[in-house]
Amino acid sequence: GQQVMQIPQYQHVQEGEDFTTYCNSSTTLSNIQWYKQRPGGHPVFLIQLVKSGEVKKQKRLTFQFGEAKKNSSLHITATQTTDVGTYFCAASGSARQLTFGSGTQLTVLP
């Protein structure tokens, strides 16, 4: 089945520093979604990327979809303590099934 590799697994940053998590697939993706899961919570949808080379921004968050539609990244500028949580990418290939990356657990130190 389809596999999506996500790195890093953990990231500790000082408040105010930037943060980036990456997802990579060996196959071309139909689309990719990003979710955030707060500690003790459930995943919450952030965004979906569909087009090759697509870049979308949500305030301090920037999402990119690679030109070959095989990789994606989420970048947070000037992290805040409210950004704490695990960020997951989730990808669809030729089928409808979403495959989740292993997640990046972000810790923000005040």
Partner 1 sequence: KAGVTQTPRYLIKTRGQQVTLSCSPISGHRSVSWYQQTPGQGLQFLFEYFSETQRNKGNFPGRFSGRQFSNSRSEMNVSTLELGDSALYLCASSLLASRTNTGELFFGEGSRLTVL
Nearer to partner 1 among residue 46 and residue 77 (C-beta): 46
In the 3-class helix/strand/coil scheme, how is the chain assigned residue by residue? CCCEEEECCEEEEECCCCEEEEEEECCCCCEEEEEEECCCCCCEEEEEECCCCCEEEECCEEEEECCCCCEEEEEECCCCHHHCEEEEEEEECCCCCEEECCCEEEEEEC
Least distance from partner 1 to the Cβ atom of residue 59, Å: 18
CB of 78 to partner 1, least distance (A): 26
As measured in angstroms, the least distance from the Cβ of 75 to partner 1 is 21
Q: Which stretch binds partner 1 (CB under 8 A): 16-24, 55-63, 70-78, 101-109?
A: 101-109
User: Considering only residues 28, 52, 94, 109, which one is a binding residue for partner 1 as defined by CB under 8 A?
Assistant: 94
Query: In the complex, which residues of this chain contact partner 1 (CB under 8 A)?
Result: 1, 30-31, 33, 35, 41-45, 48, 50, 88, 90, 92-103
